[in-house]
Amino acid sequence: MIPMDILPQHTRHPREFDQNRFVYPVLSRRSRGISVGVNLNPDKVCNFDCIYCQVDRRSESDTRFVEFDQLLAELEAMLKWVASGEIFTHPQFASVPEHLRRLNDMAFSGDGEPTTYRNFDVIMERAAELKRRLGLDAVKMVLITNATMFHRPAVERGLAILDQNQGEIWAKLDAGTDEYYHLIDRTTIPFQRVLDNLLLASRVRPLVIQSLFMKVQGIGPTDAEITAYIGRLKHILAEGGQLARVQIYTVARPPAESFVSALSPDEVQAIAQRVTTETGLFAEAY
């Protein structure tokens, strides 16, 4: 866990940094170091409208599309800046403790679902080439995703590139029941598609499941909902899927809806403990 004295740095994850439009550094709790974020959805268009999302979709973005060459130039400059340690002379990162002064990954996420990016496989290949050219073989490539597009050929190709380049797929699963899924994620995409895609992808490589639980109108998920959620994890395992670990966390930044609030640390820990006890999976609480 990140010490409380540096919490303000990781509770703010702005996706613009200095003059950059697509690439930004963050101190990441889950990465335990510096993560270089890559925003593939600067237009703020997403196929989910999660009630806990911090993206303000009520206002238009200044950037409407990804400028491929500029994104890669920003990514190269940022990787060099962080890897050299020069980032820690910047006021925003000057207080980062020594054990967190490391470049852990480049993380593809953004203000929407990154796998909806039309040239997803191309950007994965170019980013992997850049990582190799800079001699950053140990740096991970992390995809943070809602798993809705895993069935598309371009996304399948992109996932395969991640597999070959120190990649990790952090896939969202915020619910156990269809009703709760639609309450939290507010999408027309069927819950079954997410479940099918998680199983499809996890049969090829281990996935990291990331699950955000919260209070809605002051009430957290019921025991029955958590039981159903754990049942989904068990089903993946029973059907030949591989899960590396599960990340259980709660709201850390101002959410889209005022009726959403964070669970207590004890409540988050209790869910993680249930996951470990009932599935045998390693569950991390944040």
For the stretch 135-160, pLDDT in tens is 999 999 999 999 999 999 999 999 99
Superfamily of chain region 173-286? Aldolase class I (3.20.20.70)
- The answer to which of 32-36, 40-44, 265-269 has the lowest mean pLDDT is 40-44
Three-state SS annotation for the chain = CCCHHHHHHHCCCCCCECCECCEEEEEECCCCEEEEEEECCCCCCCCCCCCCCCCCCCCCCCCCCCCHHHHHHHHHHHHHHHHCCHHHHCCCCCCCCHHHCCEEEEEEECCCCHHHCCCHHHHHHHHHHHHHHCCCCCCEEEEEECCCCCCCHHHHHHHHHHHCCCEEEEEECCCCCHHHHHHHHCCCCCHHHHHHHHHHHHCCCCEEEEEECCEECCECCCHHHHHHHHHHHHHHHHCCCCEEEEEEECCCCCCCCCCEECCCHHHHHHHHHHHHHHHCCCEEEC
64 has pLDDT over 70:
no
- What residue has token string 């550094």? 25
Q: Would you kindly state where each structural domain of the chain is located, as residue ranges?
A: 1-141+148-159, 173-286
Average pLDDT over residues 55-66: 59
pLDDT tens digits along 213-252: 999 999 999 999 999 999 999 999 999 999 999 999 999 8
- The confidence score (pLDDT) of residue 79 equals 98
> Does residue 62 have a pLDDT over 50?
no
Share above pLDDT 70 across residues of the chain, in percent, rounded to a whole number: 90
pLDDT at 212 over 60: yes
How confident is the model at residue 18, as a pLDDT? 67
For residue range 79-135, list pLDDT tens digits in order. 999 999 999 999 999 999 999 999 999 999 989 999 999 899 999 999 999 999 999
Q: Give the C-alpha separation, 244 to 228, whole Å.
A: 20
